[in-house]
Structure 1
Amino acid sequence: MWKIGNIYFIAAVAVIGGALFGFDISSMSAIISTQPYLCQFNQRGHDENGLCLGPTDDVQGGITAAMPGGSWLGALVSGIVSDAFGRKTSIQLGAIIWIIGSVVVCASVNIPMLAIGRVINGFSVGICSAQVPVYISEISPPSKRGRLIGFQQWAITWGILIMFFICYGSSFIPGTAAFRLPWGLQAVPAVLLFLGLVFLPESPRWLAKKDRWEQAVEVLTLIHGKGDPNSPWVIRELSEIREVVEFERANADVSYFELFTPGMINRTQVGVFTQIWSQLTGMNVMMYYITYVFTMAGLSEPGTNAVLLPSGIQFVINVVMTVPALLWMDRWGRRPTLLVGAFLMCFWLCINAGLFAVYGRAPYPGEFTSTAESMAVEGPPAKAIIAATYLFVASFAPTWGPVSWTYPPELFPLRLRGKAVALCTSANWAFNFALAYFVPAAFANITWRVYLIFATFCAAMFLHVFFMFPETANKPLEEIEEMFDDTKPGAIKYIGTPAWKTKNTRNLALRQERNETLSSEEKMGVSGEHKESAA
């Protein structure tokens, strides 16, 4: 079948799998404060104005957490599925599961049905979020790998933005169609993802691992060789892949347990904590419960959707501010990007904590519908809280957002990459689940101190990155493996080198790609001259 080899097109199709996660975040964020949703899943009766109060805070936390709970399981399973059937096939399976979950969620008539549908959707997101970065990392050239995997985060932000405004428009529809319409429409991208992947090639590294060398050469030629199987780039990539595959077969069996052996535990903890820290920034909590925060800052009116539009501004910021990372993340490197993001997010969280602590008051009886909305701020301090929240999002979007997806696939050898990234991503979803469930109760009980907890996490992640996270930008995946491996002859012994002394090799990578491209073009030119002479 005809395949498309443009690397940007391949990434654009694959990262639709990331957009599915974005659809879920904003659909839940936009819908949980609307009357049709609160009335359909009402547990607490009505207030003095006759408005539905909706599920209890614990139940709402459980409904929200059902998706990341399913994602945790899906991410763990994805490693086994990906290694057995291929990166592309595992993503297609995720698309099918998402369609099934969307149908169940759209048709939900009670809380158990809604929770089950969200678990199914989460299972799909777990598969896609784990394997899309693996797929892209194994196809991309080193100098573009960060940008292309970063498209995963950009797709998430676009999914959040698009679905949020679909929900905003639907909120004016009377009855349950206000939430059923967006929950049904979110199945459409999964259909596009499944069909688009039909025309994309499989990962050449996975094909080589399965001894399908001819197909691996075809994919490398299609993507990197511009149709020339004798391109220096194709020859070098194939040689490195063959060396790694042969070495891995001779030295190790593949299992999850190997990730915790002495030779692998360092990169495992780095990869796992990359995903854990991305959750402990508090960003996804902001996304899920932003309407709560802005309600406390005085942007809502009882029984209206007034809080939705200002909440949507942060989703626009999220999309726009991810673009700098796509353009320059490979130039910046992974370490500086993570360090700057952690510092800035810690700062804005401390600002919000201080504003709520100093200027916040307990809400009046009946002022808010949820006990999670436990503080009220008016006037200039409220505006400062909104501004700090926007700046927090603007700090996350070009830093931890894209890098948290880019970094883990770069750390692990081919034989373990599928399982390793699945483990790292499962850690992401485990903490996403815990936080989604924890935050409503935390706002209700410890109020502004929630911000201090996340600020402390940001300070801790800054130190962890500085001392333990090596630089991987612009290095071939096979070279990154050597950074951690002291058993191979001639390996680059980074094990004894402090992480803060590792460097970004962007200029070297660009020169290598440029020289190999020129060599290929010169070779094709010489070949053409020979043909003309023969004629």
Structure 2
Amino acid sequence: MGLLYNIFVSVFSSIGAFLFGYDSGIIASVITMSRYLDRFGDNASIRGGVVSSFNVFLGGCFFGAMGAGWCNDRFGRKRTIQVGTIFALWGCAMQTGANNVATLLVGRIIAGLAIGILSMTVPLYNTEVAPPKIRGFLVGMTQQMIGIGFIVANWVGYGCQYIDSDASWRLPLGLQMAPAFLLLVGIQFLPNSPRWLLEVGRDDEAKEVVYQLHGTTPQARDAADVEFKEMSETIKAEVFVRSRKLSDLWATRAMLRRTLVAVGVQVFGQFSGINVINYFGPEMYAGLGITGGQALLVQGIYGAVGPIANIFFITLILDRVGRKKPLMFGAASFVVTFSILAAIVASFPPPPVELAGQVPVNQAAQRAGIAMIFLTSIFFSLSFGPVSWVLASEVFPTSTRSIGTSVATCANWAFNVLLSQVSPIGMTNVKWKFYLLFVALNFVDFIIITLFFPETKGKSLEDMAIVFGDNVDTKRILDEHKDTSDSASNEKHELEHA
């Protein structure tokens, strides 16, 4: 098995990330379809419903990610993914069969819960089963599948708009259930996380999984034995001292640093402005004087740029250059692209709507503005896109990895909701000056990453204790526990013979 099996496990489990991308992207096409508009009322109610649908979906994602931490500890990674797919099937079925706005909104909330669960658990699962040398590539597959989901959603929506019935919007919503069902059934045949198995005392199963992931050659078996021994000792020691409290995330200086790094990389990913482009691209293009079908065409092309850059990055670069340098590169790049974009919009504002088509638009400025937006997507895919999922889940010890990843993902969704609220207001009221916010945020991000973020490339998950300076003596804890167990056993033996 070995490498190919690891890749298969990563790609298949990342169907959850594909569902994330598709579910997030398809609603943008659905709400513009004439049959959808006929079904759900006049323009005012439609606008209200669209905004509410979008926000409750993101809110559901936040709460789904919040609850997934407990579920992962209690039932494991595979079962939690299955819980997420069940919520996805339920929510998507409600959306597909909706005959009123209320049913659609409830379906979006439930689907949001599913995406929150999956967006937190899929990278967590891939982190725990991936070998250290290719962990960046395998966990980075999460971002790749999100991008592919967006692409598929764009083209499915484009094709379905020509169907002259309610199937034009019900079909693309219903197609969400296909990957959800495939993941629900298929994840059962993938291995459990060996680290979770060790946590719950299923050591023999954990060892078999490690062998399965490494392959069958003698060299692979030797490497598996070494990794399992290190993994087992560290996790068993963590089990003896863990308390399963949220406060564990800041109980020590080293743990606080882990938490700040994980939360920081997720929040900084939102500060990149990528989801402002994903959600409000047509409004940004309108600021460049590009409207109507031309804006939709540009947005469709834009959707394909990120995944192409991402697959190149996670395949050839991420596990060679590490995590820190790409994050620094990304933050610095966003300072440049948003500075240029702000300058273009400020210097060459589009003509008023009533004069559109009568006043010439500076074509060179338009092309330069589009280039900056596209470059932002490319630079995101070469930095925060894949790295944020990798780093947020790999920095924590096994004892707090699920709850820590949950908190980091919740932070991601919280700032996603915030920016989705303020971005259309900012672009309408302050226009080009709104982009200066991202210039300032990414400048600060660059400094913080440079000064405080560690490099975790090539480290095993158990080696993170060295990276972050944890004061945990694994051997001492295990020896103390062994002595305590032996003492209790001797006392019991003496009492039985008394």
What's the TM-score once normalised by structure 1's chain length?
0.83
Q: Which one is further off, 233-242 or 60-69?
A: 60-69
**In 2, are the aligned partners of 1:412 and 1:420 still within 8 Å (CA)?**
yes
Aligned counterparts of 1:40 and 1:227: Cα–Cα separation in 2: 61
Q: Which one is further off, 105-114 or 379-388?
A: 105-114
1:356 Cα deviation after fit: 1.2
Residue of 76, 97, 102 corresponding to 2:87: 97
Number of residues of Structure 1 aligned to a counterpart in Structure 2: 471
Residue of 206, 223, 230 corresponding to 1:233: 223
Alignment deviations for residues 92-133 of structure 1 (CA, whole Å, 9 cap, x no partner): 111111111111222333433322222111111111111111
Residue of 259, 282, 289 corresponding to 2:280: 289
For residue 302 of structure 2, give the secondary structure of its aligned residue in structure 1: helix
Q: Which residue of 2 aligns with 1:363?
A: 352
Identical amino acids, percent of aligned pairs: 32
Q: Which residue of 1 aligns with 2:114?
A: 124
Alignment deviations for residues 222-246 of structure 1 (CA, whole Å, 9 cap, x no partner): 1114277992222112211221122
Residue of 199, 202, 215 corresponding to 2:205: 215
Q: Which residue of 1 aligns with 2:413?
A: 429
Aligned counterparts of 1:172 and 1:363: Cα–Cα separation in 2: 31
1:377 Cα deviation after fit: 5.9
Alignment deviations for residues 367-414 of structure 1 (CA, whole Å, 9 cap, x no partner): 79xxxxxxx965332222212111111111121100010001111000
**In 2, are the aligned partners of 1:37 and 1:54 still within 8 Å (CA)?**
no
Change (3 A) 1:455 1:41: farther
After superposition, the CA RMSD in angstroms is 2.6
Aligned counterparts of 2:356 and 2:104: Cα–Cα separation in 1: 28
Residue of 67, 74, 89 corresponding to 1:84: 74
- Unaligned segments of structure 2, at least 5 residues: 476-498
Alignment deviations for residues 34-53 of structure 1 (CA, whole Å, 9 cap, x no partner): 444445445546xxxxxxx9
Change (3 A) 1:102 1:395: same
Residue of 245, 261, 267 corresponding to 2:258: 267
Alignment deviations for residues 192-229 of structure 1 (CA, whole Å, 9 cap, x no partner): 11122121010011001000011111111111142779
Aligned counterparts of 1:314 and 1:92: Cα–Cα separation in 2: 32
Q: Which residue of 2 aligns with 1:17?
A: 16
Aligned counterparts of 2:344 and 2:128: Cα–Cα separation in 1: 46
Q: Which residue of 1 aligns with 2:310?
A: 322
Q: Which residue of 1 aligns with 2:387?
A: 403
Change (3 A) 1:32 1:451: farther
Aligned counterparts of 1:463 and 1:116: Cα–Cα separation in 2: 42
Query: What is the one-letter code of the residue matched to 1:311?
Result: Q
Q: Which residue of 2 aligns with 1:345?
A: 334
Q: Which residue of 1 aligns with 2:267?
A: 276
Aligned counterparts of 1:220 and 1:241: Cα–Cα separation in 2: 10
**In 1, are the aligned partners of 2:211 and 2:224 still within 8 Å (CA)?**
yes
1:333 matched to 2:322? The reply is: yes
**In 1, are the aligned partners of 2:77 and 2:121 still within 8 Å (CA)?**
yes
Q: Which residue of 2 aligns with 1:460?
A: 444
For residue 357 of structure 1, give the secondary structure of its aligned residue in structure 2: helix
Change (3 A) 1:196 1:490: closer
1:475 Cα deviation after fit: 0.4
**In 2, are the aligned partners of 1:5 and 1:200 still within 8 Å (CA)?**
no
Alignment deviations for residues 438-464 of structure 1 (CA, whole Å, 9 cap, x no partner): 222222222222211122221121111
- Of Structure 1 and Structure 2, the greater helix share is in 2
Q: Which residue of 1 aligns with 2:429?
A: 445
Residue of 168, 172, 186 corresponding to 2:162: 172
What's the TM-score once normalised by structure 2's chain length?
0.88
Q: Which residue of 1 aligns with 2:494?
A: none
Residue of 171, 194, 198 corresponding to 1:204: 194
**In 1, are the aligned partners of 2:287 and 2:345 still within 8 Å (CA)?**
no
Residue of 303, 311, 320 corresponding to 2:299: 311
Query: What is the one-letter code of the residue matched to 2:65?
Result: A
For residue 24 of structure 1, give the secondary structure of its aligned residue in structure 2: helix
Aligned counterparts of 2:111 and 2:182: Cα–Cα separation in 1: 16
**In 1, are the aligned partners of 2:199 and 2:239 still within 8 Å (CA)?**
no
1:306 Cα deviation after fit: 4.6
For residue 281 of structure 2, give the secondary structure of its aligned residue in structure 1: helix
**In 2, are the aligned partners of 1:74 and 1:123 still within 8 Å (CA)?**
yes
Q: Which residue of 1 aligns with 2:242?
A: 252
- Unaligned segments of structure 1, at least 5 residues: 46-52, 369-375, 492-535
Change (3 A) 1:30 1:230: closer
**In 2, are the aligned partners of 1:29 and 1:290 still within 8 Å (CA)?**
no
Q: Which residue of 1 aligns with 2:138?
A: 148
Change (3 A) 1:159 1:152: same
Aligned counterparts of 2:34 and 2:384: Cα–Cα separation in 1: 34
1:483 Cα deviation after fit: 2.1
Residue of 344, 354, 372 corresponding to 2:343: 354
Aligned counterparts of 1:367 and 1:34: Cα–Cα separation in 2: 25
For residue 190 of structure 1, give the secondary structure of its aligned residue in structure 2: helix
1:147 Cα deviation after fit: 0.4
Change (3 A) 1:346 1:108: farther
**In 2, are the aligned partners of 1:218 and 1:229 still within 8 Å (CA)?**
no
